[in-house]
Structures are given as structure tokens and as C-alpha cells.
Amino acid sequence: MSELQNAKELSSAQTSLCTLKDCAAGDEAVIERVDMEEKYVFRLFELGLRKGMRIRISQRANFGGKVVARGQERIALDGKTAAAIRVRKL
């Protein structure tokens, strides 16, 4: 693959990212990155929310938060955290 094709693919992948806060209930997505301090990223990692993880948005929570499903588990996230998680919708 040429460098130009690689650059176009990378640009396309980056533009298709949105925040978890932007997703609607019922959307499925893959976590691409988390823009938070390391201690918060580690906590999300402990909860099983890490890069490459496929999730489903179960519902909207109060104050802009989201409830996400990972397998049979449900995890509630506040709005600030949801805004810091970048996902690629499926």
C-alpha cells in the first residue's frame, strides 16, 4: 500500500470517531481511545472498558451519561466520562 493510501485510511478512521456521549441508545461501537488522566483510564480498564472492546449503548443516563452493555454487564458512566471515550460506531 502506498503512503497516500495509508494516510487516507488513517484520516477516514479518525473522522469516523465520535464520543460515547454522542451515541444513541441501541448503537453499537468499538472503543478506540480514552482522553482522560491515567488513573481514570486504569479504572475503566478494571471495569473491562478498554481499547478494542465492543459495547452497546443501553440507555441514556441523567446529566449526559450513558449506560453501556459489555456482554451481560451494564456499566453506568457519567457525562464527563462518556465525553472522554472515543468510539467508532458499527
Q: Is the pTM of this model over 0.85?
A: no
CB 47 within 8 A of CB 22: no
The CATH number linked to 77 is 2.30.30.90
Average pLDDT (81-85) is: 95
pLDDT digits (tens, 9 = 90+) for 12-60: 555 589 999 999 999 999 999 999 999 999 999 999 999 999 999 999 8
**Count of structural domains, the chain:** 1
**pLDDT over 90 (residue 88):** yes
Full residue range of the structural domain in which residue 79 is found: 18-89
Strand partners, 34: 85
**pLDDT over 80 (residue 4):** no
**Residue showing cell 483510564:** 41
Question: Hey, what's the cell of 18?
Answer: 465520535
For residue 79, the number of C-alpha atoms closer than 13 Å in the C-beta half-sphere is 4
Identify whether 33 is part of a domain.
yes
Average pLDDT (72-89) is: 94
For residue 26, the model assigns a pLDDT of 95
